[in-house]
Structure 1
């Protein structure tokens, strides 16, 4: 297994290099910032990149952004995020890109080297390895961002019937309201879901997909 390691703490970086090499893993590069990570992945094409989230210069989310960039340039590279922090924005993007195995573990919850090696093997094989705390925060963010949550109870009821394939006339009969009232509800639903009129897109289908995702 060929690994690129991105960790800004020199002591932790060198310690991880030693542990991984003693376990039979080849660390082909050990870097301390995001741009160096991207260059190492592009130049060396490792099996997996192990990445910290907060790196120079701002120590916010450079590591994750670099991992996303590296995967765009070298699709299929496995990524294991190993950090003290959960950064949901770019973690969500990394998980959703479908370009290879991905993991996100919290440093203080990795019990031993075997757990880390198992995680590396899992993501190299194309799997997903996530700490439960990461999963919880990702789901919390998705619930908060879900536009369906902005709908009123009546609008959600109308959307559910749209998702079942009912026409406005059929929905009006079900809810014992006028077709005009259903049309108003439908237009408000589309507006809240960000679905503007478009000849190339069916707003009812897109609204149904939003409902199913929610």
Structure 2
């Protein structure tokens, strides 16, 4: 796997380079600003990119804007956002463009190297890796009168785990229920949210995120 890193914190940037290199991942480039990131991606499209949200010069949302711009030029470019913040405006655009291969993890909540590497691999393969807090904040932006209010507590749990990128088997294990029960909950979720019932894998997660952005 060939990866480009865009992170302004030199210590974290070099730490990611070392971590990925020792894990068999080739780091094509590690840059500290959006302009260099876009140049590298344009010159030699990598298999995935790891982005911080806030990059120079304003340290606001340059990273996310660069990620959105890169995916417009290269549809489906896998992007894993690794940030200390949830930026709603460009986050929803990135997560709901329908191309797949997206992830958004909060730095403070990535407690294990294995979890981070697993998320990166899933995203690189066209899947989704979402931090529960990101989903929670997106949900909080929804209007008061919302079909999500019709979901049961268990359906909300299943929806949250779906949004994290887990498959049905893992959801069943985490909730200590049968896979049949998970299938039933997912059917109910799609029905209540008026989403296609035949969505599967990461596409169903993107469908949920697209709904949240409507």
1:112 to partner: Cα distance? 1.7
Moved over 2 A (4+): none
The secondary structure found in structure 2 opposite 1:5 is strand
Equivalenced residue count is 149
Q: What TM-score comes out, normalization by structure 1 length?
A: 0.66
**2:143 match: secondary structure:** helix
Displacement of 1:143 = 2.9
Q: Which runs of 5+ in 2 are unaligned?
A: 148-212
Greater relative CO, 1 or 2 (CA 8 Å, sep 6+): 2
C-alpha separation in 1, matches of 2:135 and 2:118: 19
SS in structure 1 opposite 2:108? Answer: helix
User: Corresponding residue for 1:41?
Assistant: 41
Alpha-carbon distance, 1:147 to partner: 10
3-state SS, counterpart of residue 81 of structure 1: strand
Q: Tell me: CA distance 1:147–1:119, structure 2 relative to 1, closer, same or farther (3 Å).
A: closer
Equivalent-residue separation in structure 1 for 2:99 and 2:68 (angstroms)? 10
How many angstroms apart in 1 are the aligned matches of 2:59 and 2:107?
Answer: 16
Deviation of residue 89 (structure 1)?
A: 0.8
Partner SS for 1:90: helix
CA distance in 2, matches of 1:143, 1:120: 32
**Counterpart secondary structure, 1:143:** coil
Superposed CA deviations along residues 95-133 of structure 1, whole A, max 9, x for unmatched, are: 111123100000111112111110011111111110000
Q: Distance in 1 between matches of 2:68 and 2:41?
A: 11
- Give the unaligned 5+ runs of structure 1: 149-212
Note if contact 1:78-1:102 (Cα within 8 Å) is conserved in structure 2. Answer: yes
Give deviations 1:136-172, integer Å, cap 9, x for gaps: 111222337x899xxxxxxxxxxxxxxxxxxxxxxxx
Partners of 1:135 and 1:38 lie apart in 2 by 27
1:114 maps to which residue? 114
2:20 equivalent in structure 1: 20
Q: In the aligned structure 1, how far is the partner of 2:64 from the partner of 2:28?
A: 20
1:153-204 alpha-carbon deviations (Å, 9 max, x no partner): xxxxxxxxxxxxxxxxxxxxxxxxxxxxxxxxxxxxxxxxxxxxxxxxxxxx
SS at match of 1:77: coil
CA contact (8 A) 1:75 1:100 kept: no
**Greater Rg, structure 1 or structure 2?**
1
Counterpart in the other structure of 1:124: 124
Q: Where does 1:38-77 land on structure 2 (aligned, <5 Å)? A: 38-77=38-77
- The 5 A counterparts of 1:127-206 are 127-143=127-143
Partner of 1:104: 104
Give TM-score, length-normalised by structure 2: 0.66
Q: Aligned partners of 2:18, 2:62: CA distance in 1, in Å?
A: 24
